[in-house]
Chains A and B, each alone.
Chain A
Amino acid sequence: GEDVEQSLFLSVREGDSSVINCTYTDSSSTYLYWYKQEPGAGLQLLTYIFSNMDMKQDQRLTVLLNKKDKHLSLRIADTQTGDSAIYFCAETLYNQGGKLIFGQGTELSVKP
């Protein structure tokens, strides 16, 4: 079945690295995404990775994909207070027409 799981909360100190984890159950994922939601706002795409990739780096963001374990992670280097938000992992499945399946979201709190 289709299921995406995330831990609900993460708290880090400003300047530290944050690692947000996600697991998924369906091996037919084509794309895996990380979206960011700030309070009172919609979701904004941070980055995405094709299912045939292992890693993607984009400035302070590093995405790691372990297909064997169906595990996706987002690392934010030098975390800032402006990074405080809810982060959603999502996937699209092969031949499912682009429908996004979301995890529950991880609330990242960055303390000065």
Chain B
Amino acid sequence: DAEITQSPRHKITETGRQVTLACHQTWNHNNMFWYRQDLGHGLRLIHYSYGVQDTNKGEVSDGYSVSRSNTEDLPLTLESAASSQTSVYFCASSPAREGEQFFGPGTRLTVL
């Protein structure tokens, strides 16, 4: 079955370290999104991509970057992790720019 996976599911890191969170989907969707979920804020968009070599900034992009070298993967990199980036991160993909987005299971990141 086609699916969307994230790894790792849990990560603890130290302030200042570079961290990369993986997102992989097997639906061949062009559109992929990264969100962070924090209490009281719902989900907020970090970065998104409409296809290979396309990346766009979302609402809370500072301190994060993404790259899209193929259709299946959109890794999210924290260049220098900060405690404010402790959160749960969700990746999503969709076949169309509007309509249902399919979410991965999430990665819980703790920055100490």
Residues of A within 8 A of B (CB): 4, 30-31, 33, 35, 40-45, 48, 88, 92, 97-105
Contacts and interface: CB of A to CB of B under 8 A. Distances in A.
Main secondary structure of the interface of A (DSSP, over half): strand
Instruction: Say what secondary structure dominates the interface of chain B.
Output: strand
A42 B98 CA distance: 19
A78 B33 CA distance: 34
B98 A92 contact: yes
Interface residues of B, number: 27
B42 A88 contact: yes
Given A41-B106, A42-B90, A43-B90, A100 B101 contact: yes
A97 B94 CA distance: 11
Nearest to A43: B103
